[in-house]
Amino acid sequence: MCGISGWFDLKAPRLPDRALVRAMNDAIRHRGPDGDGFHFEPGVGLGHRRLAVIDLVTGDQPMHSGNGDACLIFNGEIYNFRELRAELESCGHSFKTRSDTEVILEAWAEWGPDCVNHLTGMFAFALWDRRDETLFLARDRLGEKPLYYAILPDQSLVFASEIKGLLPSPLLDRTIDPCAVEEFFALGYIAEPRTIYANVKQMPAGTTMLIRRGRQPSVQRYWDPAPAAIDNHEMSRLDDALLERLERIVKAQLVADVPVGTFLSGGVDSSGVTALMARTAPDTVTAFTIGFHSREFDETEYASLVAKHCAAHHIIDRMQGDETDLVERLPAIFDEPFGDSSAMPTFRLMQLARKSVTVALSGDGGDELFSGYRRYGFHAREENLRRLLPAAIRGPLFGTLANFYPQFDNAPRFLRARHTFHELSVDSRMGYFLNVSVLADDARNALFSDGLKRSLQGYHAVEVLNAFAGAAPTDDPITRAQYVDLKTWLPSDILTKVDRTAMANSLEVRVPMLDHTFVDWALGLPSALNRRGSEGKILLKRAFEKLVPRNTLHRPKQGFSVPLAKWFRGALGTFLEQKLKDEFSAAEYLNIATVRRLIGEHQAGRADNSRALWLIWMFESFMEREHAASAQRAFTQHAARTLSN
């Protein structure tokens, strides 16, 4: 796992600003503490930070092809690099190292831009080919590894693994995108390709960009999730077929020249991955768990049962209090507002694991692939009702019921009929948006300042989901929702959280269930095999019963959440109140009176506004950093003008 950064002249082969590229690379030092490397020539500058995992001696980057025509910087792991190497050797290619990096270089020489279709793994890379003076950028299929870019006013392009890698450029326009603010408060994340900055974009998962001077760069999609056809033999033995596929993937992802461990939350997905690792790995598995002092959030009991069953070395730590110090660090880790509060225990988990290993396996992806989220069941039932009643009747009927039914935000979902009525009053896409949104339309309308509402010009975050709902390769409501989540929630929330918290601790995380062949296979399963009423992941649980104790699998889903409601009735609420009294940096975007009301209601126990308050805190903390950075830039520019005079 590494970090990459670079500069490319879109206009002419001007000499690169070496100091800028070095500063960009230094900004992502945490992604690769084991060394750095650079390549400069007219029109291009490439930087690399290395976290050594495979071929520790000869795997340094940038790496050049044997004939010197191509130069590569690469972040990630290619799990089928040995098979690809053998295939390329049969085509006449020779190799000097044992690294997967060199395999990408030779794959480019053999297949050009189509090389990405031959790669199995997680990756983001930049390849400079001096033969035709092209820069090729690529990102893996599911979005495990990030890649951001911006086109500057001087017609140069900068790119980096994280937004912070772009910020050293004095030409970068840091104007806030109001649509990103809408997405953040609606969904809890900013969906790719958008970022908080209007002029910074993230390459979407499963895309490439071939860049030539004098031409406008354009993003090309090379992969999209597509349900695979499952043959009759596999259908007759699905439990074993699932385990066989996943075990092969886990085995491939254990390849490393450094220690490898696994995360073990005690939930279904991580338990299965841990058990498969224990079955496959040559040595005792080391498993890491973060717990909570509150039993309501703690799953260490179940994690310990699985660890004992797998004969794993189990290391447990617990969250301490309200973690105020970590809360303050999150904006610097993510570079933009990020609303998933589970980033805190995830960060502590990464921190814990890094003390013992350099690589860890994760169980992420199971919910999206095997219908684990309760919202899939709600959405399917609502879709059935939508089919029974025409929109002309359904809209007025359920819209009226939603207006009159009391709102119970703290009640279990099945008692929150107002939410269900509201979702039934609209079409399928808006209904699913309401299902996944963090703050409802009326809550955002009350929270946003008049200026922000004007600048949105009617933009609504449902467009994030609309962009993919119509392209879903199925009419099944659950599989369609899973597809939308794979395109939005997974890369922009889950995988962003995993990458940033892991890389902040210089840890590589691998996700077996996101092998693209496994994704397509899982999507090809009839949704009835995965969900029955309120219970999801039926097939996955049944298969994992062969690996771990049954009582760890068949229990209510807990998730990896933190006691926000309690925290905001304590120190976090007090700190947020103090921010309002001192200087509220987000005042340009948020209505201060509404923020005060939300704090007051929550602390008095009249409502649970913790989700809204968390988003406000994250946005305010980000804006504080922006204001400080703006002041520093102004000071630096003033000092430079003074010296020049």
Residues marked active site are found at 2
CA gap 253, 237 in Å, rounded: 25
Instruction: Check: CB of residue 253 under 8 Å from CB of residue 289.
Output: no
CA gap 363, 342 in Å, rounded: 15
CA gap 69, 58 in Å, rounded: 19
Q: Which amino acid is at 198?
A: A
Buried b (16+ CB within 10 A) or exposed e, 340-356: bbbbbbbbbbbbbbbee
Pairing of strands 219-221, 207-212: antiparallel
Helices (H), 60-217: 81-90, 100-111, 178-187
**In the block, residue with structure tokens 């409502």:** 607
CA angle 628, 630, 631 (to 5 degrees): 65
Instruction: Check: CB of residue 28 under 8 Å from CB of residue 164.
Output: yes
Pairing of strands 286-291, 260-263: parallel
Of 461, 442, 450, give the one whose Cα is nearest residue 588: 450
Give first-to-last CA distance, the chain, whole Å: 46
CA gap 478, 376 in Å, rounded: 6
Instruction: Check: CB of residue 190 under 8 Å from CB of residue 492.
Output: yes
What is the chain's Cα-based Rg?
25
Instruction: State both tokens at 25.
Output: 């690379």
Instruction: Check: CB of residue 376 under 8 Å from CB of residue 481.
Output: yes
408: how many CB neighbours lie within 10 A of its CB?
A: 13
- Helix (H) or strand (E) segment spanning residue 13: none
